[in-house]
Amino acid sequence: MSIAATQKRGFGAVLWDYVTTVDHKKIAHLYLFAGGLFFLIGGLEAMLIRIQLAKPDNDFLSAGLYNEVITMHGTTMIFLAAMPLIFALMNAVLPLQIGARDVAFPYLNSLGFWLFMFGGILLNCSWFLGGAPDAGWTAYAPLSTTSPGHGVDFYVMGLQIAGAGTLIGGINFLVTVVNMRAPGMTYMRMPLFTWASFIASVLILFAFPALTVGLFLLMFDRMFGTAFFDVSLGGNTIIWEHIFWIFGHPEVYILILPLFGVFSDVFSTFAKKRLFGYTAMVFATMLIAFLGFMVWAHHMFTVGLGPVANSIFSIATMAIAVPTGIKIFNWLATLWGGNITINSAMLWALAFIPTFTIGGMTGVMVASVAADYQYHDSYFVVAHFHYVIVGGTIFGIFSALHYWWPKMFGRILREGLGKLTFWTFFIGFHLTFFIQHFLGLMGMPRRYWVFHSGDGLDLGNLISTIGAFFMAFGVIVFIINAILTARDAKAPADPWDGRTLEWATASPPAHYNFKQTPLVRGLDPLWIEKSEGKGKMTPAEPLGEIHMPNSSFLPFLFSLGLFVAGFGFIYQTDNKAWLAVLIGGMAFSLGTMVVRSMKDDLGYHISKEELEREAD
Amino acid sequence: MSHDHSLNPETMPHEPEKATLEGKNKFIGFWFFLGGETVLFASLFGTYLALHNSTAGGPAGNELFGLELVFVMTILLLTSSLTSVYAIYHMKNNDFGKMTLWFIITIILGFGFVGCELYEFHHYITEYGFTFRSSAFGSAFYALLGFHGGHVTFGLFWMIALLIRNARRGLNLYNAPKFYIWSLYWHFIDVVWVFIFTVVYLMGKVG
């Protein structure tokens, strides 16, 4: 361990360390903590929704507040919970899996996090400043352009800032995979999690700029009086839907692909088998990503694009079931005949297969245009996307956290509590959402704040609400588990008898990851060394100086400037004096850019002698 | 990395911008970034194409656009791309003075372009009442042109900062990637302008 980590430090020193850190492992902690916090806020909003819908004609929430709660639930869960939790996993594991000492751009890594964090805080400030956005997470115009108050303005500015951070993160991981792989780590020897994260980063790169433009257009319409979506001046509201979904559909694959990678790694580790159909898995991931850009208009079947457009997008959508099916069968074949260990990580992975398959099947149903006219904006769609996003992304994140917790924090999560979390959440999830398919088919529309007692929807909604409480219980148990685990004994370097490079480092790894860059001799490099009786990696270089990047406070300051400017943008519509805040914030951020540009950042070196002093 | 990367003709690598790992990372990372920028401008072009006939009773493109000014702007920007190539040529030959000179010429041409664009916007607003708010066509026009012009302006100040920072120390392996990446950026906004010239002005004149 490094000298700094072995000394007992005050809270202030730890805080300063995390605010200025450029170490991917600490940034992973930051993403996990922030994403977890927003996950709890989004979950609280979900509970409010389910309490409101527990009984007919309920008045627990007012209609306006209900709109704010559903909007913030969707927006928070997608942008502020699922995305950062995925980035936490990528940061924690991806550089280790390819044998790198850090990501390609450690400074940008920190900048990406702080942009996301300040964007998320800005969005949530709306609760205390006159009301949250209330136009749905999709913010369709003209509902969003005419929504009174500043709620939607907070949506625009918060997501713009957070989205910039996500784009930066995506580019960083792309370059890391292209340039930073250890000797012998060819593309077709990369673990599936690294592959899937790489492909998801490609999706981020090409999807997020569309959101950037969409948000700019919405911002111009709301704050500067333009006419993009103003029909009386020739505007067209459908443009928003196209741009939003050109971003939005790839976004759902950004949310799921890295977790497909997690499941692949978990299955092969706990079945003690090489992943079945590795090459097919890689190309299926690419095919899903490619098709993901070709299907955005299936969200718009009822807009009236015409039968030709609808048919093309319908067929393209159904085609995605093919590579997804390839993956499902390869996971099953990996398990087949394996020496299977069932623990918490594995339970989540096993539960994912049937759950996600149900979500995929309803996906093909809603992809059928004629039938979609019935499903559109009903609870059937709500059930469908919760089956894929919770059943895929959230199950995957839980699986990954149980699997990689020792690598991230040096402790193993407790099995008993892990299983309690799993069973309550798993049962609660199906209680909540399975019944919603039928509520949707019975005609219950999405986003309505009440249903009436004569509608025959009472029992289904009550069951759904009870399920939500089970899920909440499971999440609370997980948090207790994480806290209790901190006092447990330190985890060994390789608690699961792992196959990939991250298990060749200590738990948690030294801040430079690998004292000597490992030599990779094939797929599952650590497993190869174990099966040949060696048990540890062969170094690819002699012990020598390690170059490390400097910490920096600038990413925090840059993001803070944009955060302040965000308030200026929002309130300059009321009072032009706020333009000073806008300009001040932007100038401050530009100033930090100039400082960054003018001051050379050459990093520092850990000497060979210091490395020799530290134990293996 | 040693801290002194000063170059002389004997130690000059063939591609100084990619001679270090940091340089390679910046090089490939910037290409990825330009891929994202392509989507950004594609979305703006798509919006423009959807709204370019939505004049709401205001002036249309063929009444507004004067190809003479646009021709001058195109020449200025395309020439500045060529002069930035000369600058990079001299960077690769380790001739810091000539590189600086050609970058300064590039910036002057760039400012000429921005000046013409500001004049053009001023002309449309005062003579025709054609503004960001007057019609959906106006919104889409100024959004697309404004994003491009904003990129040009940002690039100009970026290069000024680079030239000031490195004026006294010459070329080294730490700043060579920075100059090279700027030239990539400059070529990219030049290519975007070629599309704007075609889609907005030429098609606007005949459409």
Output the pLDDT for position A602: 87
A218 and A176: one domain? yes
pLDDT in tens, A488-518: 999 999 999 999 999 999 999 999 999 999 9
Q: Is residue B193 part of a domain?
A: yes
Chain B: closest CA distance from residue A240 (Å): 9
Count of domains for chain A: 2
Q: Within an 8 Å CB–CB cutoff, is residue A57 touching chain B?
A: no
A24 - beta bridge partners? none
Q: Is residue B1 part of a domain?
A: no
Q: Within an 8 Å CB–CB cutoff, is residue A205 touching chain B?
A: yes
Q: Is residue B4 part of a domain?
A: no
Per-residue pLDDT averaged across B95-103, rounded? Answer: 95
Output the pLDDT for position A610: 87
Chain A residues within 8 A of B162 when measuring between CB atoms: 597
A155 and A176: one domain? yes
Which of B6, B18, B22, B141 is the best substitution to test chain A (most A C-beta atoms within 10 A)? B22
Q: Is residue A5 part of a domain?
A: no
Distance CA A269, CA A261 (A): 12
A469 and A578: one domain? no
Q: How far is CA B169 from the centre of its chain?
A: 26
For A308, the token pair is 């030709």
Q: Is residue B3 part of a domain?
A: no
Q: Is residue B5 pLDDT above 80, yes or no?
A: no
Which of B47, B137, B163 is the best substitution to test chain A (most A C-beta atoms within 10 A)? B47
Q: Within an 8 Å CB–CB cutoff, is residue B143 touching chain A?
A: yes
Output the pLDDT for position A57: 95
A504 and A589: one domain? no
- Domain hosting A18: range is 12-552+601-613
Which has more confidence, A615 or B109?
B109
A257 and A357: one domain? yes
Asked whether the beta carbons of residue A208 and residue B36 sit closer than 8 angstroms, the reply is yes
Per-residue pLDDT averaged across A530-544, rounded? Answer: 92
Q: Is residue A312 part of a domain?
A: yes
Q: Is residue B11 part of a domain?
A: no
H or E element: which one contains A351? helix A344-367
Q: Is residue A464 part of a domain?
A: yes
Q: Is residue A536 part of a domain?
A: yes
Asked whether the beta carbons of residue A213 and residue B1 sit closer than 8 angstroms, the reply is no
Per-residue pLDDT averaged across A583-600, rounded? Answer: 94
Q: Is residue A252 pLDDT above 70, yes or no?
A: yes
Output the pLDDT for position A616: 56
How far apart, in Å, are the Cα atoms of A171 and each of A80, A163, B131? Answer: 19, 13, 36
Per-residue pLDDT averaged across B127-132, rounded? Answer: 95
Count of domains for chain B: 1
Output the pLDDT for position A614: 78
Residue of B nearest to A230 (CA): B136
Distance CA A123, CA A246 (A): 23
pLDDT in tens, A71-123: 999 999 999 999 999 999 999 999 999 999 999 999 999 999 999 999 999 99
A177 and A255: one domain? yes
Chain B residues within 8 A of A242 when measuring between CB atoms: 46
Q: Is residue B189 pLDDT above 80, yes or no?
A: yes
| Percent composition of chain B: helix, strand, coil (DSSP 3-state, to 5) | 75, 0, 20
Output the pLDDT for position A613: 84
Chain B: closest CA distance from residue A322 (Å): 27
A47 and A139: one domain? yes
Q: Is residue B124 part of a domain?
A: yes
Which of B41, B45, B49, B139 is the best substitution to test chain A (most A C-beta atoms within 10 A)? B139
Instruction: Provide the 3-class DSSP secondary structure of residue B39.
Output: helix
Per-residue pLDDT averaged across B142-161, rounded? Answer: 97
- Domain hosting B173: range is 16-206
Written as one string, the DSSP assignment of A56-113 is TT--SS-HHHHHHHHHHHHHIIIIIIIHHHHHHHHHHHHHHHTT-SS-S-HHHHHHHH
A447 and A589: one domain? no
Grade residue B13 by pLDDT with cuts at 50, 70 and 90.
Answer: confident
Grade residue A1 by pLDDT with cuts at 50, 70 and 90.
Answer: very low
Grade residue B2 by pLDDT with cuts at 50, 70 and 90.
Answer: very low
Distance CA B141, CA B127 (A): 17
Q: Is residue B103 part of a domain?
A: yes
Output the pLDDT for position A515: 93
Output the pLDDT for position A615: 63
Distance CA A569, CA A490 (A): 49
Q: Is residue A213 pLDDT above 70, yes or no?
A: yes
Output the pLDDT for position A535: 87
A162 and A294: one domain? yes
Asked whether the beta carbons of residue B39 and residue A104 sit closer than 8 angstroms, the reply is no
Chain-wide mean pLDDT for chain A?
A: 95
Output the pLDDT for position B3: 47
Q: For the whole model, what pTM was predicted?
A: 0.95
Q: How many helices (H) and strands (E) in chain A?
A: 23, 2
Q: Is residue A3 part of a domain?
A: no
A267 and A343: one domain? yes
The lowest-confidence range among A3-7, A358-362, A392-396, A483-487 is: A3-7
**Residue from the list B43, B136, B165 with its beta carbon closest to the beta carbon of A233:** B136
Per-residue pLDDT averaged across A47-58, rounded? Answer: 97
Asked whether the beta carbons of residue B29 and residue A174 sit closer than 8 angstroms, the reply is yes
Q: Is residue A311 pLDDT above 70, yes or no?
A: yes
Q: Is residue B111 part of a domain?
A: yes
Q: Is residue A6 pLDDT above 60, yes or no?
A: no
Asked whether the beta carbons of residue B36 and residue A209 sit closer than 8 angstroms, the reply is yes
The lowest-confidence range among A36-40, A247-251, A597-601, B97-101 is: A597-601
Which has more confidence, A33 or A615?
A33
**CATH number, domain at A279?**
1.20.210.10
Chain B residues within 8 A of A235 when measuring between CB atoms: 51, 54, 136, 139
Q: Is the ipTM of this complex over 0.90?
A: yes
A546 and A569: one domain? no
CA proximity to A271, closest of A329, A331, A327, A325:
A331
Question: What letter does residue A513 receive in the DSSP assignment?
Answer: S
> What's the farthest any 2 CA atoms get from each other in chain B?
67
Output the pLDDT for position B207: 66
A546 and A564: one domain? no
**CATH number, domain at B143?**
1.20.120.80
Output the pLDDT for position A7: 56
